[in-house]
Amino acid sequence: MEAVKRFIDRMRSKSPWLLHFDCGSCNGCDIEILACLTPVYDVERFGIINVGNPFHADVLLSSGTVNHRNKKVLANLYAQMPSPKLVVAIGACGLSGGIFREAYNVVGGIDKVLPVDVYVPGCPPKPEAIIDGVVLGLQKLQRLHEQPSVEKGA
């Protein structure tokens, strides 16, 4: 049973499919996310695919400040993703609201709406940092999977 679990975890970390949602970012972060797909970085080497469908996604990459209009969309996208799932907040605005945090229409960072697993800071973060964030998230996903069994044993 342990071996099967470990096998499933390995498969999960070998094929993370990303869903990218722009919560009103200036497009700086989005361009860096899309740069990961170019031949220079070629994230398909790690089985990463940028899907457009929350039903198929494992990792939600979200950039930009959350405001009162798009927080429902963000929550809806997260609800449509089958678990296990990860949320990666990208850029200063995604982390805290950035320079827009005090505007009247801004709720704040992604973590005001969703449980964020990995924060990737930067304005905008480098593509390497984004790839690093996703890899970190996958490690967290595996550890999350292990935790309950440890508790059961104790």
Partner 1 sequence: MTRTVILIACGLIAGPILGGLFSGMDRILTARMQSRIGPPLLQPFYDVAKLLFKESLVVNVWQVFCAYCYIAASSIALVLFFLQSDLLLILFVQAVGAVMLVVGALSSTSPYSHIGAHRELLQILSYEPLLVLVVVGFYLETGSFKLTSIYAWREPLLLKLPFLFIVLGYVLTIKLRKSPFDLSTCHHAHQEIVKGLLTDYSGLFLALTEIAHWFEIVLLLGFCTLFWATNWFGMAALIVATYFLEVLVDNTTSRMNWRWMLSYVWGVGLTLSLVNLIWLHQG
Binding site for partner 1 (CB under 8 A): 7-8, 11-12, 14-15, 39, 42, 44-47, 49-53, 55-56, 58, 80, 82-84
| Nearest distance from C-beta of residue 152 to partner 1, angstroms | 20
Q: Which of 111, 113, 79 is nearest to 96 (CA)?
A: 111
| Nearest distance from C-beta of residue 81 to partner 1, angstroms | 9
By beta-carbon proximity to partner 1, the closer residue of 43 and 106 is: 43
| Nearest distance from C-beta of residue 96 to partner 1, angstroms | 28
By beta-carbon proximity to partner 1, the closer residue of 43 and 92 is: 43
